[in-house]
Amino acid sequence: YEPCYPTDGTAVPIGVATTTVVDFNLAPKGAVSGTIRDAVSGAPLEGIRVLAWHPTQEIVDSEYTDNQGQYSFPRLVPGTHYVVSDDWGEFVDELYDGLPCYGGPPEGCDPTKGAPIEVLSGQTITGIDLYLLNQSLVVFMDGFESGATVAWTTVEP
């Protein structure tokens, strides 16, 4: 994700007699949508925050699910994106596609460890669904669920 600064463009002189036409060729953005459901009952979950991440570890969009558990990111710049829930509540967050994110992103997991979603100009990708597990059903967590191995050590015999 690269920022766009107005001063990076070509200067257009403006004067009293200037009638210059300036055209822009803008590429259409892409879209991603899906549904968030309870992993056990399959019921749609309303009010769950969903984040779209760029590979540079930046949040590029944030939406909440509606009463049908649906969310949409309608204006994504074409390229690779990652989707993760950010509930802060009773559910274990999840990276698309099916990886738990204990503690929420980015502290609890690296959002870019999820399945990449390639967004193309003018394309809508549907079916980016997440199935969240109620935290009360989690019996054991040792911090390695996300595949992190930072705390592993080697013991010499």
- Please give the average per-residue pLDDT across 25-34, as a whole number: 86
Length of the chain: 157
For residue 91, what pLDDT is reported?
92
Q: Which residues on neighbouring strands pair with residue 93, listed in sequence order? A: 101
pLDDT grade for 96, boundaries at 50, 70 and 90: very high
Q: Is 0.75 surpassed by the pTM of this model? A: no
Burial classification of residue 23, based on how many CB atoms lie within 10 Å of its CB (0-12 exposed, 13-18 middle, 19 or more buried): exposed
